A and B are shown apart, each in its own frame.
Chain A
Amino acid sequence: MKENYRLIESKELDETLHQYSFYPGLNLYVLPRQGYQKKYAVYSTRFGSIDNRFRVEPENEITELPDGVAHFLEHKLFEDERGNVFDRFAALGASPNAFTSFTQTSYLFSCTSNFEQSLNHLLDFVQEPYFTEQTVQKEQGIIGQEIQMYQDHPHWRVFFNLLEGLYQQHPVRNDIAGTAESIAQITPDLLYRCYKTFYHPSNMALFVIGDLNPDQVARQVEDNIAGRNYQALGEIVRFFPEEPAEINRKCSEQELVVSEPIMFLGFKDPVVDKLQGRDLMRREILMELILDIIFGSSEQFYNDLYRDNLIDENFGAEYTAEINYGYTMIGGETRDPEKLCERIMNEISEIRNTGIRAEQYERHRRKILGGYIRRFNSLEFIANNFLAYHFRGTELFELPSILHEIKLEDAVNLLEENLNPALHTVSLIKPPEEEV
């Protein structure tokens, strides 16, 4: 076993991570954290809502999915021939959960006792699918309610309207849970087909963290996987539509019951799909720096907007970088969306002229480093983010060294490239006129 083993050390954080890999391609990470009562494990597959067209080498047949399959599958794995999975964790006092994003599906539990059994439950239920006509039908009702709930959620709607405004073709523009119509097309057969492809261990990774002995965890995982007769799986080929560089539309508006308008500006990143791994993370860190320098609460611009009563404390800007899409969103609740939008656009062109001061750059760099260290209090943060970066081909522990090597000029260059006024959209939620 030891030949497929590696130690990853982070001097900055005083952490030592143990990585193992097992046939047929599963990666396991164990991070011992002494003194913690809680133990946490997350088992993820690189299968999210955007993975809706694929084939597996050497087959030629391409499978196309209706929207919402990855999320639907996540719900359905919690039920098997033995009944409800929640009960089995509950008997151990462990707390299970799961979530589906654009790019991955994750199953997890936390516990303060019975760790070994809980970990086996996690590995078992994720590796033992059970889908029937009847259970699929019942889930359509539950997820139908989930979709309805999100339709009433203004911050969720403003987000997806923004993505729809940015993207013409890419499936990131579609709701993760799909629609009532799309999930009505889901069948047990379809779920099994996705399962066999994306839930193969070579497409998955497991992260375990807590006061644990790494080798012991590794043996347990290896034993669990070994008994399941996995065959090697061919490469999964994912197909994404050709996405034009241009945005889809300039403005999206929706009426919902809200106390005041919610407005976000979105910028499409035209370069991100050429990057992955460490380069992608580097871009992400640089963008975090730039956005904090322009829009952060320790800068004049934020304080002016706040004083002019155009924003509240939740105003913010963030950048997302995935392997084949990337975007920036800036905004929040505001009494005057037009004016806020104009001020933001002006500020972006202003900073292109004035540039970034060395003092600003250093101050925000420190802030990012401190924020990173602080987040390492949370076992969930470490595990979930480690796997997200793993699937993008890099490691969470790289952050301090990237932060150390980037330069002010890199940030200035990215500013030119990534906040291009020609590639921006506006998403607006406003209250209906007749109501409060």
Chain B
Amino acid sequence: MQAIYTEHYLPNGIRLLFIPTDKFKTISMGFFLHQELRGDLAALNSLLPAVLEQGCRLYPDKLTLQRKLDNLYGADLGSDIIKSGERHVQAFMFESAHDKYLGENGQLLNEGMSVLGSVVGDPLISEDRFREDYVKQEKLQLIKDIKALLNDKATYAYERCISLMCSEERFGTYKLGWMEDYDRIDAEGLYRYYQDVFFNNPLDLYVIGDLEENQVLETAGRAFNFSRNSASKTLSLTEVSRSVEQVRYHEEEMSVNQAKMVLGFRTHTAYQDDQYCPLLVYSGILGAFPHSKLFMKVREEAGLAYYVFSRLEKHKGLMIIAAGIDYADQQKAQEIIGCQMEDMAAGRISDTELDNTRHGLINRIRSQQDSPGQLINSHLDGAISGRTYSAGELIKRIEAVDRKDIQAVAEKIELDTVYLLKPRKGGK
């Protein structure tokens, strides 16, 4: 019952991945431009999709473009920037209802692809530059977005921990880059950057839906026919093996009610490693589920937190533990977390914990098959890491993980950074 991909290359080197399936009500497409995550490129890389999305030659402003999409039965076209390990991916996603529920006879694939192809491949250019006003406007919006990280305290704390922990690595770059970098970008430089990356960097196009392969290939060939270097450049992989010299502690005060504690660990194990599945099971037993040790001990037994979890940054080989707690309980919570990790390392894991976690992980992998977005994401993981697992292979590997494998993973895990966002003294 696994999704079947067919892989093709368009004449200009764009890789096309097609998943024919009639189980969704939609036509879904994703267009991805791969780039290295780098401090000096992050702002450019974030700004580019935002500016492209403002309008293209055929639909020169947002209003015209949105009206076109409304008339395609409220099709959705959006851009995003994804930080995945030390890879920085520009994403353009299109989704519309499938024609067969609308009596529209095949037009939505054509029209949708042509809009997507125009936005990424046929931008609005005059005098070798993007529109100055669009660039200025999107710079303002992105700087606002960077500042707005502060509004969700849990996410803010999570990102702060990562940027402090990886301050000397590419991964320490926030996905939207640094505010001051935006000052240095102008409409001409951004267009030069566009020409460079669209010409040279790897581009992936995903198409999912109840469609004919020939028609998809033909339509894509027409819609994405811009000229480019058909041999895409090779991007460097994520650095995983950095060791910890000394645990670092950071505290920040803010006018908040609840303290947020974030612990950053290095696992020295990434997605492409054989030990990835044991690590997945390790983090699962520790804190990825409501049956996990952290949830049971910190929340259900001690009643200290509403949320507490562990999560992997799978391409970078980091594990992050986060909890929202009373500041007064910080020591206690950290002790309980420490005890759970000692138990893991000593192999004090019950059969139930091991089985439940395997089942839970397998359930998540199977469930991904039911969402076009998740199908794309899991395939992208392969493109980013250089190692592709089928769902079936991941499941087999997870089933095979035993206590010894988990202990072997545990031995390598090192605490690197403790970050605490704490309430300012003297009340709110």
Question: Is the pair B22, A35 in contact by a Cβ cutoff of 8 Å?
Answer: yes
- Which stretch (B38-46, B83-91, B161-169, B367-375) binds chain A? B367-375
Asked if A377 contacts B148 (CB within 8 A), the reply is no
- Tell whether, in the assembled complex, residue A307 and residue B144 are in contact, meaning their CB atoms are under 8 Å apart: no
Task: Closest B residue to A87 by CB, please name it.
Answer: B291
B 301-324 contacts with A by CB, 8 A: 303-307, 324
Q: Which residues of B contact A369 (CB under 8 A)?
A: 73-74, 97, 102
Mark A123-157 against chain B: 1 for CB-CB distance below 8 A, else 0: 00000000000000011011101101101111100
A373's partner among B25, B76, B355 (CB-CB below 8 A) is: B25
Interface residues of A in 33-90 (CB under 8 A from B): 33-38, 84, 86-87, 89-90
Is B145 an interface position by the 8 A CB rule?
yes
When A38-B367, A303-B61, A367-B74 are in contact, do A376 and B304 touch as well, CB less than 8 Å?
no
Are A297 and B62 within 8 A (Cβ)?
Answer: yes
Are B370 and A37 neighbours in the complex by a CB distance under 8 Å? yes
**A189 is an interface residue with CB less than 8 A from chain B:** no
Partner of B291, one of A86, A299, A300: A86
Bound Cα distance from A253 to B23, whole angstroms: 48
B256 at the A/B interface (Cβ < 8 Å)?
A: yes
- Whether a CB of chain B sits under 8 angstroms from the CB of A110 is yes
Query: How far apart sit A324 and B80, CA to CA, in the bound complex (Å)?
Result: 39
State the Cβ distance, B420 to closest chain A Cβ, in Å.
Answer: 15
Chain B, Cβ-Cβ closest to A299: B63
Contacting residues, chain B, for A35 (C-beta < 8 A): 1, 21-23
Residues in B lying within 8 Å of A, measured CB to CB: 1, 21-26, 61-63, 66-67, 69-76, 95-98, 100-102, 133, 137, 140-141, 144-145, 147-154, 254-258, 289-291, 295-296, 299-300, 303-307, 324-326, 352, 355-360, 362-364, 366-367, 369-372
Q: A309-B140, A363-B71 are in contact. List 6 more A-B contacts (CB 8 A).
A: A87-B356, A93-B363, A95-B363, A95-B364, A374-B97, A379-B370
- Chain A CB count within 10 A is highest, among B76, B98, B325, B356, for B356
Whether A370 lies near B73 (C-beta < 8 A) is yes
Whether B352 contacts A87 by the Cβ 8 Å rule is yes
Q: List 8 A-B contacts (CB under 8 A).
A: A90-B360, A95-B363, A95-B364, A142-B299, A145-B304, A309-B140, A367-B73, A369-B102
Residues of B within 8 A of A33 (CB): 23
The CA-CA distance from A93 to B359 in the complex, in Å, is 4
In the complex, how many residues of chain A place their beta carbon closer than 8 angstroms to a beta carbon of chain B? 73
Identify B255's interface contact among A91, A257, A312, A313, CB under 8 A.
A257
Chain B residues, Cβ within 8 Å of A376: 25
Q: Which residues of A contact B357 (CB under 8 A)?
A: 90
Considering the chains assembled together, what is the distance between the CA atoms of A155 and B150 in angstroms?
12
Tell me which residues across on chain A come within 8 A of B326, comparing CB atoms: 145, 148
Question: Considering only CB atoms, which chain B residue lies closest to A366 in the complex?
Answer: B73
Q: Are the CB atoms of A370 and B360 closer together than 8 Å?
A: no
Q: Is A190 an interface residue (CB 8 A)?
A: no
> Among the listed B148, B291, B358, which residue makes an inter-chain contact with A259, where contact means beta carbons less than 8 Å apart?
B148
In the complex, A111 Cα to B62 Cα: how many Å? 41
Closest Cβ–Cβ distance, residue A237 to chain B (whole Å) = 34
Q: Known interface pairs A148-B258, A366-B70, A370-B72. Does A377 touch B144 (Cβ–Cβ under 8 Å)? A: no
Shortest distance between the CB of A289 and any CB in chain B (Å) = 12
Chain B residue contacts of A379, Cβ below 8 A: 370
A368 proximal to B (CB < 8 A): yes
Rounded to whole angstroms, the CA-CA distance of A151 and B299 in the bound complex is 19
A86-128 CB contacts (< 8 Å) to partner B: 86-87, 89-96, 110-113
Q: Does A192 contact B (CB under 8 A)?
A: no
State whether B25 touches A259 (Cβ < 8 A). Answer: no
Mark contacts of A8-52 with chain B using CB atoms, 8 A cut-off: 1 yes-contact digit, 0 otherwise. 000011100000000000000000011111100000000000000
Question: How would residues 238 to 279 of chain A score, 1 for a CB under 8 Å from any chain B CB and 0 otherwise?
Answer: 000000000000000000111110100000000000000000
B371 x A257 contact (CB < 8 A): no
Q: Is there an interface contact between B63 and A13, defined as CB atoms closer than 8 Å? A: no
In the complex, which of the residues B63, B326, B359 has the most CB atoms of chain A within 10 Å of its own CB atom? B359
CB nearest neighbor in B for A334: B144
Instruction: Say how far A340's CB is from chain B's closest CB, in angstroms.
Output: 14
Kindly list the 3 A-B residue pairs having the minimum CB-CB distance in the complex, ordered from nearest: A370-B73, A93-B359, A367-B74
- Which of A111, A146, A312 has a CB less than 8 Å from the CB of B144? A312
A182 close to B (CB within 8 Å) = no
Q: Given A303-B63, A366-B70, A373-B101, do A141 and B303 touch, yes or no (CB 8 Å)?
A: yes
Q: Which of B26, B97, B147, B300 has the most CB of A within 10 A?
A: B97
Is A364 in the interface zone, CB < 8 Å from B? Answer: yes
With both chains docked as a complex, state the minimum distance between the C-beta of A3 and any C-beta of chain B, in angstroms: 33
Q: Given A259-B150, A373-B101, are A312 and B25 neighbors across the interface (CB < 8 Å)?
A: no
How far, in angstroms, from A364 to B237 measured CA to CA in the complex?
45
Least CB distance from A101 to B in Å reads 18
Say how far B25's CB is from chain A's closest CB, in angstroms. 5
Asked if A257 and B304 sit within 8 Å, CB to CB, the answer is no
Q: How many angstroms between the C-alpha atoms of A86 and B299 in the bound complex?
A: 13
Closest A residue by C-beta to B305: A145
Contact present for B306 and A146 (CB under 8 Å) = yes
Report B20 CB to chain A, min CB distance, Å.
Answer: 12
- Measured CB to CB, the closest approach of chain A to B138, in angstroms, equals 10
Is there an interface contact between A112 and B363, defined as CB atoms closer than 8 Å? yes
In the assembled complex, which residues on chain A have CB atoms less than 8 Å from the CB atom of B70?
298, 363-364, 366-367
Once the chains are docked, how many angstroms separate the CA of A112 from the CA of B2?
A: 13
Q: Indicate whether A312 sits within 8 Å of B370 (C-beta atoms), given known contacts A96-B290, A297-B66.
A: no
B23 touching A36 by the CB < 8 A rule?
yes
CB nearest to A304 among chain B residues:
B63
| Min C-beta distance of A260 to chain B, whole Å | 7
Q: Is the CB of A112 within 8 A of B366?
A: yes
Q: Which of A91, A298, A306, A374 is most buried by chain B, counting CB atoms within 10 A of its CB? A: A374
Closest chain A residue to B373, Cβ basis: A377
* Cβ B367 vs Cβ A112 within 8 A: yes
* CB-based contact B367/A257 at 8 Å: no
Taking the complex as formed, is A322 at the interface, i.e. its CB lies under 8 A from any CB of chain B?
A: no
Per the bound structure, the CA–CA distance linking A213 and B75 in Å amounts to 33
Closest residue of chain A to B28 (Cβ to Cβ) is A377
Of all chain B residues, the one with the shortest Cβ separation from A298 is B66
Q: List chain B residues, Cβ under 8 A from A227.
A: none
Does any Cβ of B come within 8 Å of A223's Cβ? no
Smallest CB separation, A125 vs chain B (Å): 13
- Given contacts A87-B356, A369-B73, is CB(A142)–CB(B303) below 8 Å? yes
Which residues of A sit under 8 angstroms from B95, Cβ to Cβ? 374
Interface residue? A175 (CB, 8 A): no
The smallest beta-carbon distance between A196 and chain B, in angstroms, is 26
B25 contact from A306, A313, A377, A432, Cβ within 8 A:
A377
**CB-based contact A90/B291 at 8 Å:** yes
Of the candidates A154, A298, A369, A370, the one having the most CB atoms from chain B within 10 angstroms of its own CB is A370
Chain B residues contacting A90 (CB-CB under 8 Å) are 289-291, 356-357, 359-360
Determine whether A164 belongs to the interface, using a CB cutoff of 8 Å to chain B.
no
Residues of B within 8 A of A297 (CB): 62, 66
> A432 CB to closest chain B CB, in angstroms?
6
| Bound complex: CA A91 to CA B350 (Å) | 12
Residues A432 and B255 in contact in the complex (CB < 8 Å), given A37-B369, A86-B291, A154-B151? yes
